[in-house]
Structure 1
Amino acid sequence: MRIQTRRGGKAAWTLLAALALTACGQGTEKGPEQAGTEPADESKEKKAVTVSMYIHANILDEADLNKYVIGPLKEKLPHVMLEVTRDGKGYQIQDVLSTGSFPDLIVTSNPHIPTFKDAALVTDIAEYVRKQKIDLNAVDPALIEAIRMNSPTGELYGLPFRQNLGVLVSNLDLFDKFGLPYPTDGMSFDDVLEVGKKLTRMDGGTHYIGFDPGNVPNNMSTLLALPFADPKTHKAVFDSEGWRTVFDFLKSAYEVPNFIGPNKEYQYASLFATERRVAMQNTWVLGVAVAASQGNYAGMKWDMVSSPNFKGHVGKGREADVHLMMLSKLSKQPEAAMEVMNMMLSMDVQSMFSRDGRPGVLNHKEIEQQFASGIEAFKGKNIAGIFKSKPIRPHEVSPYDAKLRSLIESTKVEFILGGKDLNTYVRDLQEKANQTIEAMRKQ
């Protein structure tokens, strides 16, 4: 295997044994890397080809790239050499485009599809899907729709290979300590909040948190597929029933007696695994899988239930969060690139994802039942609950979403600790958001 990593503008070459498919580096290197295997005897009829890949937002870190892409390539497509470029300083989309070319494959998540669309890098892959006889019916239709919705005519810009799902993870030791029944699948946020109130307390000098809402309100907005702005009118849409529902719940969660800490702290995400004084946390299953596999929950009695939701929406999950590969419009090797995309949908690769606690994308109960079977800490857990809340169609992304998410994060303290009422906060947020949009449009 040959790996090329550019560090500080200088190329460093490393020769590895073909079976040494471990992570190279710490996942922080940026720029082009090259990895692959020499063609095996049985593939001599296929000409060796190099497929280039652009990994955006670290959707595949070094370990994942080696295990789920390079390893399967060695077995299934040994004639394919993979050249990888990661986004980062000097390798942003426009930096790479300025060279006059772009990698064959784009690895990203569905909220970022518009970014590549604006850069004129997306293309419809329908003809390649037909030629390579890729069975889209085998894929969860909600995930395909999450990709198609980015085209006004329903074009398919890429194929999913992995997804993320929301869950409620619980420290059952705290439920035992205070004599309360465990959480169950199908809870509403009102249910969760009532239980959380009973667990939030000072006890023996320790500050216990019954329910940590997590990244609020941004993650909760995905349960209702709430848009941040109207891309047609270029106006924020926070003064809506949906957003008011989210903000109202936020206020209720933070007004629970003893929730706000003595030093005005109100975010407790890291304490679930470290100090173990958070009873319930609203989070993503990928994060739970990583934490459990790294031993972060060792010695804790913990479990998960399906993602809670607002009344009237229980049973529905967060917006589909799709990790996908897209064919670049500037691809020089589209056929080979599509072979790689097709490989990611193979039963072997999808089973590997599932066993490692990474939700796959196929409609196969067998794969779903394998979920996290390779993680010792998941044995005996409520695996079925993870899949009971089905992902919903994402909101229509606007060019302003990222800035408006940041605006919510920077202003929500006014609502949580500053004493602003709901109407005042929404009015001020709407005004600031529209000012932000106007400033962006003038750039």
Structure 2
Amino acid sequence: MNKKSLALLSSLLVCGTVFTGCSSSKPEAVTTGNGTSPTASAITKPVELYFYHNAGITEEQFQEQFGKVINEKLPNVTVKFVPKDKSVSLAEMMTSGTTKVDIFIDSIGQIGLKGSLIDIGLNQDLSDLIKKHNIDLNRFEPSTLDAIKVMGGLYGLPISNSAYVLMYNKDVFDKFGVAYPKDGMTWEEISDISRKLTRSDGGTQYVGYSTSINHYLRLNPLSLANVDAKTKTASLNTDTWKKLIQESLLNPMSADGYKQVATDLSKQWYKIPYTDEFAKNRNVGMFTFMYGDYAWTKEMNWDVVSLPVFKDKPKQGSQAYPTYMFVTSTSEHKDEAMEVAKLFISDEFQTQFSKAGGITVLKNDAIKQVFGQETQMKDKNIKNAVFYNTAAPAAPKTRYDTYVEDAVKAQISSLLKGETDLNTALRTAEETVNKKIESENK
């Protein structure tokens, strides 16, 4: 696989994927699952496999990122790409009888949502297939498996991972003479730095810190479930939710300058400074976001450190954010689909993927050591930022999670402007979410 393909693949997979199947012809070659990549003899008869990527990438992107690897290693597999049609739901596509999907690719952040694999019943536990194919689960970072197990079963194999990190604009720090952040800082320390950076200068209002609220809540380091999967209700007005919002959202954004910023951005969907403010306007000192080699950072004087931690949970970062290959319950070629999945969990692929800036799903330290070597970020602190913390325990995802993210985000402007208090904001958000779930279920 060439460097261009790997770079494209890593840039896609840092934010999320899945597979499922049932085989009419068993592979005649036995592979060990100990990290070696399947050979061409693993599938001896021609077979067509249908792939669906829930991120909505193009066929050209899919072939560049996945198809080339499969064609090179498993020439008997003909890759069939199923495009995502936004005008028709996946459930409608599948029930029409005209669409096949053997391998479904998706991130943990999307897999529980409406219209995804589990929601429409294409999932199946792969435990028996994993045993049959001698796949050693001890090779994986446990958090990447736990994230899908809490959804009810081992429905997919992780092929990439991501994490929440803190990026910072060195120029803003230099402008105000503030020391750069370090790996392992607490939210209290970040809040102190943020206050030092939040000031008006030359007609520009600078703020010290911001984040992507949706992503942060989805991967929150306290492992709070947005919605209880059994009761289908949100319970937000609790001490742990208050701790999460107060210490890691409100305290870092408590300086007076945020009141004006919150007013200016109150009509924007993101409510608080986002990627444009951080990377384009460059009036934000620190920004926590999913790790990635993002185009919007290319012209910045920036670096990155690990996600800040709570004092009572040192070195506990965000929840893992794996992308999976799922073999669907309806696939007629489950064994062949498993051989394809094994390509992407092999030491060979994961090593090259790591070099290209992708976060490996394996515990292998040698693979982690080459992380980012072939990227423009190799001189940044990316390796420490990504691997410094351990992943927080996985919280189950539901189809209603975005309701919580949006409801909490809707309260942020009022909180920053002092128009409401945290108890009222969380109670209002909770009521909004539960009414919406109840209405939908009716």
Q: Shorter-chain TM-score: which interval?
A: 0.7 to 0.9
1:233 paired residue number: 231
Q: TM-score, normalised by structure 2?
A: 0.82
Contact kept, 8 Å, 1:217 with 1:246, in 2: the verdict is no
Q: Secondary structure at the match of 1:116?
A: coil
Deviation at 1:216, TM superposition (A): 6.1
Partner of 1:350: 350
Deviation digits for residues 403-423 of structure 1, max 9, x if unmatched?
232222334333333601122
Judged with a 3 Å threshold, the aligned counterparts in structure 2 of structure 1 residues 431 and 307 are, in CA distance, closer, same or farther, namely same
Equivalent-residue separation in structure 2 for 1:271 and 1:356 (angstroms): 28
Corresponding letter in the other structure for 1:324: Y
Q: Counterparts in 2 of 1:85-234, with a 5 A limit?
A: 85-100=82-97, 102-114=100-112, 115-151=116-152, 155-215=153-213, 218-219=216-217, 222-234=220-232
Q: Which moved more, 1:330-339 or 1:115-124?
A: 115-124
The aligned residue for residue 270 of structure 1 is 276
TM-score w.r.t. structure 1 length? Answer: 0.82
* Counterpart Cα distance in 2 of 1:344 and 1:221: 24
Q: Which string of whole-angstrom CA distances, capped at 9 and with x for unpartnered residues, describes residues 319-356 of structure 1?
A: 12110011100001111111111111112321232222
Contact 1:68 1:353 in 2 (8 A): no
Amino acid at match of 1:92: S
- Which residue pairs with 1:13 in the alignment? none
- 1:213-262 CA-to-partner distances (Å, cap 9, x unmatched) read 33268537611111122233333210111211133233333331223336
1:337 maps to what in 2? 337
Amino acid aligned to 1:307: L
In 2, distance between residues paired with 1:381 and 1:274? 22
Residue pairs, 1:226-305, within 5 angstroms: 226-249=224-247, 250-261=249-260, 264-265=264-265, 266-286=272-292, 289-291=293-295, 296-298=297-299, 300-305=300-305
Secondary structure of the equivalent of 2:286? strand
Q: Does 1:388 align with 2:388?
A: yes
Superposed CA deviations along residues 382-435 of structure 1, whole A, max 9, x for unmatched, are: 522321112222222234222232222334333333601122222222222221
SS at match of 2:281: coil
Deviation by residue 1:295-332 (Cα, 9 ceiling, x = unmatched): x333x432111111222123111112110011100001
1:29-85 Cα distance to aligned partner (Å, 9 max, x none): xxxxxxxxxxxx976982211111111133x66676334411211221111111111
Among 66, 74, 79, the alignment partner of 1:77 is 74
| Counterpart Cα distance in 1 of 2:42 and 2:124 | 31
* Whole-Å separation in 2 of the counterparts to 1:21 and 1:385: 25
Who is 1:403 aligned against?
A: 403
* Correspondence for 1:30: none
Tell me if the contact between 2:162 and 2:321 (Cα under 8 Å) persists in the aligned partners: yes
Query: Aligned residue for 2:63?
Result: 66
1:65 aligned partner, one-letter code: F
Task: Judging by fraction of residues, say which structure has more strand.
Answer: 1
Q: Which amino acid aligns with 2:424?
A: T
The structure 1 segments of at least 4 consecutive aligned residues displaced by more than 6 Å after TM superposition are 20-23
Other structure's SS at 1:164 match:
coil
Runs of 5+ unmatched residues, structure 1 = 1-19, 28-40
Paired with 2:93 and 2:333, the residues of 1 have a C-alpha distance of 17
Provide the aligned length of Structure 1 versus Structure 2.
399
Q: Please list every run of 5 or more consecutive structure 2 residues that lacks an aligned counterpart in the other structure.
A: 13-38, 266-271
**Would the alpha carbon gap of residues 370 and 74 (structure 1) be closer, same or farther in structure 2, given more than 3 Å must change?**
same
How large is the Cα RMSD of the aligned pairs? Answer: 2.9
Q: Is the 8 A contact 1:222 1:394 kept in 2?
A: no
Asked if 2 retains the 8 angstrom alpha-carbon contact of 1:221 and 1:246, the reply is no
**1:440 — aligned with what?**
440
CA contact (8 A) 1:52 1:104 kept: yes
Pick closer, same or farther for the CA change 1:145–1:384 going to 2, 3 Å. same
CA contact (8 A) 2:304 2:382 kept: yes
Structure 1 residue 141, shift from structure 2 partner: 1.3
In the aligned structure 1, how far is the partner of 2:313 from the partner of 2:338? 37
Q: Identity of counterpart residues, as a percentage? A: 28
Structure with larger RCO (C-alpha < 8 A, sep 6+): 2
Matched residue type, 1:203: D
Distance in 2 of aligned mates of 1:200 and 1:411: 21
